[in-house]
Amino acid sequence: MDFIPIARPLLGDEEIEAVSEVIRSGMLVQGELVRRFEEMFSSYIGVRNSVAVSNGTVALDLALKAFGLKPGDEVICPAFTFIATSNAVLYQGLMPIFADVDPRTFNIDPGDVLERVNRNTKAIIGVHLYGQPFDVKAIGEICEDHNLILIEDCAQAHGAEYDGKRVGGFGTGCFSFYPTKNMTTGEGGMITTDDDALAERVRLLRNHGDLGKYNHVMLGYNYRMTNIQGAIGLVQLGKLDEFINARIRNAEYLSLHISRDGITTPWRDPRCKHVYNQYVLRVEDDFPMSRDALSSHLQSRGIGTGVHYPMPVYEQPLYRQLGIGSRCPVAEDVSRRVISVPVHPGLSNEELKRIADAVNSAG
Ligand SMILES: *Cc1c(COP(=O)(O)O)cnc(C)c1O
């Protein structure tokens, strides 16, 4: 009985061939293949511009940087997310303000965001957590009413849709291509925007502010993507819809077959296409085992699990040291209940059945 990992990137002969070609060409760094990957990504998302960078954290960092906010400006982000979301705010000397999340979607709660908007607020970063879009309509309206920048952390949501439109096209989109995401380039990231001037600033920041031939017009960085990553990205993007459809099929199977008092399967907002980067169960109080005991039970049945994430960001030692963040009760509650089980596109029917059976027989 093979162990079922929580994530498994699907890379094959096409990716190997594409990488070999780059190596044979000798053109390793950012060039034609990165340009083609950006073009294909723009057309997939439905935006005017995509700018490839070295990872998803850098995408968030540069998106914030390009807006030219001032030290001390406040940026609202969810308390329940991967730490990169709010770390990008810190990199820019800005102040992350944590908002609570919705207990069903685990996404940023527009009502709580509104409570935290004040005259220092300059931007909101929404996270499409686990592959389910946040309430883009409500958050978008808050941004319009208060003249705030909207940044979408799309690291877990390539191909997810809200009202039939792909995420990354509502505000400034920030994607990651880390191997656990819905498509990968090893490390890699992308910024998407319809704003041509913003895209131009991001392109300059990515490459030492160089307008060409050592003409450096601003303090930039080396945050470039390589042609090797671009070549993998082109192949992976061609397979993305296939990957997503398999994730959705797997999630539907699990939701149909997992049936236990005390276990809540994921809730899908009917306005959204949820692309299930993670399939996350909630362990309720009437379940006979703790979340951690359930995790050990699944492990003993050869099933990998994850906890995304074990605490609100403001409870992380770093944020405690900085003294940043006020309490978010829903984020605290759900962080102690969530458990992710495998949903990746490589799962066989037999493996899916093993996962559902193992949850159903726990306790
Ligand atoms: C993965 C992830 C990131 C960071 O992306 P990297 O490519 O690992 O730097 C940011 N935000 C969220 C929500 C993520 O899941």
Q: What is the pLDDT of residue 1?
A: 75
Is residue 325 scored above 90 in pLDDT?
no
Q: Which residues of 81-94 are buried (b: 16+ CB within 10 A; e: fewer)?
A: bbebbbbbbbebeb
Going from the Cα of 89 to the center of ligand 1, the distance in angstroms, rounded, reads: 14
- CA angle 258–261–263, rounded 5-degree value: 55
Euclidean distance between CA atoms 88 and 221, whole angstroms: 15
Ligand 1 contacts (CB < 6 A) are: 55-57, 81-82, 84-85, 127, 153, 155-156, 176, 178, 189
As a whole number, mean pLDDT of residues 234-259 equals 98
Mutational pocket test of ligand 1: of 53, 106, 153, 276, the residue with most ligand atoms within 8 Å of the beta carbon: 153
Is residue 256 scored above 90 in pLDDT?
yes
Euclidean distance between CA atoms 46 and 361, whole angstroms: 44
Q: What is the pLDDT of residues 177-188, one digit of tens each?
A: 999 999 999 999
CATH number for the region 240-360 comes to 3.90.1150.10
As a whole number, mean pLDDT of residues 170-180 equals 98
Per the CB < 8 A criterion, the answer to whether 107 and 134 are in contact is: yes
Going from the Cα of 285 to the center of ligand 1, the distance in angstroms, rounded, reads: 30
Mutational pocket test of ligand 1: of 62, 80, 85, 308, the residue with most ligand atoms within 8 Å of the beta carbon: 85
Residue nearest to atom 1 of ligand 1 (CA): 155
Going from the Cα of 241 to the center of ligand 1, the distance in angstroms, rounded, reads: 20
Euclidean distance between CA atoms 81 and 300, whole angstroms: 28
CA distances from 345 to 93, 134, 155, 211, 308 (A): 39, 23, 17, 42, 19
Euclidean distance between CA atoms 186 and 54, whole angstroms: 10
- For the chain, how are helix, strand and coil distributed in percent, rounded to 5? 40, 15, 40
As a whole number, mean pLDDT of residues 227-234 equals 98
Length of the chain: 363
Every domain of the chain and the residues it spans: 13-236, 240-360
Going from the Cα of 349 to the center of ligand 1, the distance in angstroms, rounded, reads: 29
CATH number for the region 13-236 comes to 3.40.640.10
Going from the Cα of 246 to the center of ligand 1, the distance in angstroms, rounded, reads: 22
